[in-house]
Amino acid sequence: MNPAQTDSTPAPARAFGFGALVFGLTLLAYLPAVRAGFIWNDSDYVTAPELQSLHGLGRIWTEVGATEQYYPLLHSAFWVEHHLWGDAPIGYHLVNILLHAGAACLFGAVLKKLAVPGAWLAALLFALHPVCVESVAWVSEQKNTLSLVLYLAAALYYLRFDASRARRDYLAGFGWFVAALLAKTTTATLPAALLVVFWWRRGRIEWRRDVVPLLPWFVLGAVLGLFSAWVEKTYIGAEGSEFTLSVLERGLLAGRIAWFYFGKLLFPFYLIFIYPRWTIDAGVPWQWLFPLGLVVAVTALWLWRDRARAPLAVLLLFVGALFPTLGFFNVFAFMFSYVADHWQYLPCLAVLAGGATLLMRATRLIRVLLLGGLGVLTWQQSRMYADMDTFYRTTLARNPACWMAHNNLASLLHEAGRDDEAMAHYEAALQAKPDSDKAHTNLGVILRARHQLSAAIGHFEAALRLMPDEGVYQDNLAGALREAGRAREALPHHRATVRLLPNYAAGHNDYGVTLRELGRADEALMQFEEAVRLDPNSAPAHLNLSLSYSLVGREVDARMQYAEARRLNPALPDLGISR
């Protein structure tokens, strides 16, 4: 592990040997993730059916909103992977693990290029550190592993250009940088990181030599970064009361986030997929300690720079790479927590490089024991991604107030027919977050199925107060009101449903049922016909249309519709028409 002890071995052979070691240990540490399934929002990233064709690939590049985030290179990679192994999770997990190991090797190569002591130790620290598990074991975060490989490739070529000033090296580096941005735009911090590296190496930054060549990189990174922030707000929903922080509060948040991540790098224990969401309050004195501590650290290291520039460079690289997720820009996941392990996947490189340099002074035994301990922690952390049930239960064991995990686990339990357990988790979600419209709605659905209509109506009304323009919520309340004998009260909610969701077949069908119950057969017939037009495979719509035709004396049409309903649902009886 000490490069000085392998000088007699040719450099390419040493590099190949270390690379093989990195890949082997990474695969070993992440073995539980190889067998893992999909979790949380993986289905939003693994290519949707409507995007699996060549036309769909074109939409990935040309249509904002066609994918979860506008990262076209990432989603093109998913497109290719889906054509290779479809929906089998193992393929995606293996790619993520290999990309992570590749990023670790490139990280070591960058440090070797910079003559940083302990370059390969830093690569192994990165490969095995458990804060990286969230990025590697979670399929959706292939955007992290892929973009980091591209980021480090761009860095290598630019460092080569810095020495050679060759046009081909510059263009190659710029090409890799563009690719990195198209996989994830947090890589926009690369040009600033390169300037910090040049200052660390030479003690100064020259305008013509260092800054001018990177100006196009800065401009492109800023444009695409701001575009991603707009997409996050416009298409994903990163706005609302959860994001109403003042400039001062965002400064307090940024300081706390930086120290939190630094602490997790030093003490990577009790890692949680969704950490508790902090309450940021400028009136609480101790919250000022975080940004003030950061200012003191930067000031002290700046005054120390004549003796050693490396500590300040590490801090600047770490905080600079964290900048996109420090709270100055809205990120949708702030709804759940202000911090997440995958947000420091790239930033942790600087700290690990500095730590490896210090560890080179330790004995080989200490370094081996440290790497072994990190590998064990990574193996244990990877186990939580086995399946969605394990994933949510592990999250709740470490963060019992995580309303998202309660809500999503309850949905899994409801799908499995375990409604008593599901209701308990929905209630826990509402206790943690009383304004969770999804938990209100989901709990209302179970209560309605159990004919506890008064309680169900209360939850549906609460959901609508929170999200009045949600058509499905309007439909849920309308149906519960009708079943409670309050059909006339249901009508305005039905009208709102078909206004908000004109192509929602079930909404038209439910509207027709209420109209028929009120004796408005002709109007009901129109709604059922629209439902069948929108969804020809809906057995309930065909059945209701059959009954409506019968009520208005169109028996031939009634029999045809009933025959179609029976074809779609063979469990229907041979005689009689019922809803």
Would you say 426 and 446 are in contact if contact means Cβ atoms under 8 Å apart? yes
Inform me whether the pLDDT recorded for 2 exceeds 50: no
Q: How far apart are CA 511 and CA 270, in angstroms?
A: 50
Identify the CA nearest to 399 among candidates 342, 330, 343, 340.
Answer: 340
More confident residue, 218 or 569: 218
> Burial, 258: exposed, middle or buried (Cβ in 10 Å; 0-12, 13-18, 19+)?
buried
Identify the CA nearest to 121 among candidates 7, 2, 262, 5.
Answer: 2
Would you say 336 and 277 are in contact if contact means Cβ atoms under 8 Å apart? yes
Would you say 111 and 83 are in contact if contact means Cβ atoms under 8 Å apart? no
Our CA angle for 231, 144, 265, nearest 5°, is 115
Q: How far apart are CA 17 and CA 5, in angstroms?
A: 14
**pLDDT value for 140:** 94
The pLDDT confidence band at residue 238, using thresholds 50, 70 and 90, is confident
Residue 323 lies in a domain: yes
**pLDDT value for 330:** 87
Q: What is the pLDDT of residues 106-125, one digit of tens each?
A: 999 999 999 999 999 999 99
Query: What is the pLDDT averaged over residues 268-288?
Result: 94
Q: Which of 5-14, 39-48, 479-488, 521-530 has the lowest mean pLDDT?
A: 5-14
* DSSP per position, 178-235: HHHHHH-GGGGGHHHHHHHHHHHHHSS--IIIIIGGGHHHHHHHHHHHHHHHHHIIII
Q: In the numeric block, which tokens belong to residue 482? A: 């009708």
Same domain flag for 213 and 331? yes
Q: What is the pLDDT of residues 353-397, one digit of tens each?
A: 999 999 999 999 999 999 999 999 999 999 999 999 999 999 999
Strands, E, within 321-437: which ranges? none
Same domain flag for 182 and 308? yes
Q: What's at 264, amino acid-wise?
A: K
Q: What's 336's DSSP letter?
A: T
Same domain flag for 378 and 422? no
Q: In the numeric block, which tokens belong to residue 341? A: 């392990």
Residue 70 lies in a domain: no
* Residue 466, CB-side half-sphere exposure with 13 Å CA sphere: 18
Would you say 252 and 278 are in contact if contact means Cβ atoms under 8 Å apart? no
**pLDDT value for 10:** 62
Same domain flag for 349 and 412? no
Q: Which of 32-41, 209-218, 236-245, 335-344 has the lowest mean pLDDT?
A: 236-245
Q: How far apart are CA 409 and CA 420, in angstroms?
A: 12
How many domains is the chain built from?
3
Inform me whether the pLDDT recorded for 3 exceeds 50: no
> Burial, 358: exposed, middle or buried (Cβ in 10 Å; 0-12, 13-18, 19+)?
exposed
Same domain flag for 312 and 427? no
Would you say 382 and 33 are in contact if contact means Cβ atoms under 8 Å apart? yes
Residue 3 lies in a domain: no
**pLDDT value for 362:** 94
From 338, 355, 388, the end of a domain falls on: 388
CATH number at 524 reads 1.25.40.10
Greatest CA span in the chain, whole angstroms? 97
Q: What's 338's DSSP letter?
A: S
Q: How far apart are CA 460 and CA 449, in angstroms?
A: 13
**pLDDT value for 9:** 55
Q: Which of 35-49, 159-173, 262-276 has the lowest mean pLDDT?
A: 35-49
Residue 216 lies in a domain: yes
Q: How far apart are CA 158 and CA 409, in angstroms?
A: 47
The mean of the pLDDT values for the chain is 93
**pLDDT value for 572:** 85
Same domain flag for 477 and 557? no
Q: Which domain holds residue 408?
A: 400-483
Inform me whether the pLDDT recorded for 422 exceeds 90: yes
Residue 528 lies in a domain: yes
Q: What is the pLDDT of residues 487-545, one digit of tens each?
A: 999 999 999 999 999 999 999 999 999 999 999 988 999 999 999 999 999 999 999 99
* Residue 269: how many other CB atoms lie within 10 Å: 8
Would you say 199 and 114 are in contact if contact means Cβ atoms under 8 Å apart? no
From 388, 416, 435, the end of a domain falls on: 388
Same domain flag for 356 and 209? yes
The pLDDT confidence band at residue 577, using thresholds 50, 70 and 90, is very low
Same domain flag for 345 and 426? no
Task: Give residue for tokens 């690939």.
Answer: 57
The pLDDT confidence band at residue 15, using thresholds 50, 70 and 90, is confident
Residue 81 lies in a domain: no
Q: What percentage of the chain exceeds 70 in pLDDT?
A: 97
* Residue 13: how many other CB atoms lie within 10 Å: 10
From 367, 388, 409, the end of a domain falls on: 388
**pLDDT value for 7:** 47
Same domain flag for 438 and 510? no
Would you say 196 and 210 are in contact if contact means Cβ atoms under 8 Å apart? no
Neighbouring residues of 571: CB distance < 8 A, sequence distance ≥ 6 = none
Exposure string of 289-314, with b = 16+ CB inside 10 Å and e = fewer, is: ebbeebeebeeebeeeeeeebebbbb
Same domain flag for 547 and 510? yes
Residue 69 lies in a domain: no
Same domain flag for 379 and 475? no
**pLDDT value for 4:** 40
Q: In the numeric block, which tokens belong to residue 505? A: 């077949």
**pLDDT value for 8:** 52
Inform me whether the pLDDT recorded for 209 exceeds 60: yes
Same domain flag for 212 and 245? yes
Q: What is the pLDDT of residues 305-327, one digit of tens each?
A: 999 999 999 999 999 999 999 99
Q: In the numeric block, which tokens belong to residue 118? A: 């302990």
Residue 214 lies in a domain: yes
